Structure 1
Amino acid sequence: MLQKTHSAAGLVAAELVIVYHGGSFWSWEAAGALLLGCLAGPLADVDKQGSTMAKLLFPVSALLRLLNVRHRTMTHSIVFILTLMVLSLPLSPLYHAVFIAAYLSHPLIDLFNEQGVHLFWPLKARVRLLPKFLAVDTGSTSETVFRWMLLAVGIWLPVSAIGFPRLF
């Protein structure tokens, strides 16, 4: 999946956490949480040379390259996610939940990709949820449709949380 799809998934994950926590979308804390979601969503692609995250976090990307970490392996694994959960504990409860939910959205939607992910890294097995003929190829029309569906949910969640006054 492309970075913009992962950002949209991270945004939706952040919105879901805000709704779950009963927070308002009209606060600076919510704005920070939404930004964090948009950034944490594509973060797992720091292992992909040339990706936006690899460019933004060049030292981390360079270290992963030196360690010979391949794309959709370690940074997409349960072991890495559990490590991030522990390392991000100093964040506020809302930001911790948003960071983990948005980061989790990345390997989750990559499971719909033809290549799948090394979810149980360091084991070599790749996991994917769909057979190849139904899988969502990176940059394909089906990914664009999926991204627009995510964005529609991303618009609907805050609007439905606000509610509208009855006119009659």
Structure 2
Amino acid sequence: MFAAALTEVILASEHAPITWQAVATAAVAYAVAPVPDIDQPESWVSRHLPGASIVSMFVRHRTLTHSLLASLLLYLVLFGLGFHIPQWLATGIVVGWVSHWLIDLVNPMGVQLFYPLPWWVKPPVPWLAIGVESAGETVIRVALTAFVLIFALAYLLLHAPVEVQRAAAHLLPAARRLVGAVTWPWLGACCRFLHLT
């Protein structure tokens, strides 16, 4: 859900039109987000992708696959080596991958973000840490799911035909406030610099 939420915020920050590519980008990010856990033998990815469990035999959990190095290599493969990968697909893959370790930064274990350096990045205050399968994780999952759905509806309303906007005129101010609150020009600028949109 964090991958889908992050994708929506990126698209809104870029003032992206509503197209099938925008929807597909969010769907790809959502689908790719669990993949960095290929380094965990009990993960869904390791159990369901043929041969995936081999990775966990050589890579410690939350190290290489959760690092800036892996994210940079993935970005270079998708954007820098001249492969003709559709923009929406490449963006969805990168955002999904990065969203995974970003959300893992709030876990008590943290991630070895600067792999191969042995430094683990964890929440600075222990009570801010949210454990896997904890009540805190459930609250975050529910909140992110609600955000994804409400934000998508608000963004759709703001880009709907005039007739639809007139019929839902009482919802327009709230939709504008919500979309405006998470439309960050600096994020749009970063994404343009990285060619993500």
TM-score of the pair, normalised by structure 2: 0.72
Distance 1:116 1:133, change over 3 A: same
Match of 1:32 in 2: 24
Match of 1:4 in 2: none
Q: For residues 46 and 103 of structure 1, what CA distance do their matches in structure 2 show?
A: 11
What number of residue pairs does the alignment pair up?
Answer: 157
Q: For residues 121 and 78 of structure 1, what CA distance do their matches in structure 2 show?
A: 7
Q: For residues 166 and 141 of structure 2, what CA distance do their matches in structure 1 show?
A: 32
| 2:166 match: secondary structure | coil
| 1:88 match: secondary structure | helix
Q: Once the 2 structures are TM-superposed, how far is the Cα of residue 32 of structure 1 from its aligned partner?
A: 2.8
Unaligned runs of 5+ in 1: 1-7
Is residue 10–residue 42 contact of structure 1 (8 Å, CA) maintained in 2?
no
Match of 1:140 in 2: 134
Identity of aligned pairs, percent?
Answer: 27
| 1:38 match: secondary structure | helix
- Match for 1:65: what amino acid? S
Q: For residues 149 and 139 of structure 1, what CA distance do their matches in structure 2 show?
A: 15
1:1-168 aligned at under 5 Å gives the runs 8-19=1-12, 20=14, 22-24=16-18, 27=20, 29-62=21-54, 64-67=55-58, 69-89=59-79, 90=83, 91-163=85-157, 165-167=165-167
Q: Once the 2 structures are TM-superposed, how far is the Cα of residue 31 of structure 1 from its aligned partner?
A: 4.0
Query: Which of structure 1's runs of 4+ aligned residues deviate more than 4 A?
Result: none
Q: For residues 51 and 121 of structure 2, what CA distance do their matches in structure 1 show?
A: 28
Q: Once the 2 structures are TM-superposed, how far is the Cα of residue 78 of structure 1 from its aligned partner?
A: 0.4
Distance 1:72 1:161, change over 3 A: same
The structure with the largest alpha-carbon Rg is 2
Unaligned runs of 5+ in 2: 158-163, 170-197
Match of 1:3 in 2: none
Answer with 36-45 or 8-17: which moved more. 8-17
Q: For residues 78 and 49 of structure 2, what CA distance do their matches in structure 1 show?
A: 17
Q: Once the 2 structures are TM-superposed, how far is the Cα of residue 40 of structure 1 from its aligned partner?
A: 1.3
Deviations 1:38-81 (A, max 9, x none): 1111111011102111123332431x2342x1110000000000
| 1:166 match: secondary structure | helix
CA RMSD, 1 decimal:
1.9
- Match for 1:12: what amino acid? A
Q: Once the 2 structures are TM-superposed, how far is the Cα of residue 123 of structure 1 from its aligned partner?
A: 1.2
TM-score of the pair, normalised by structure 1: 0.83
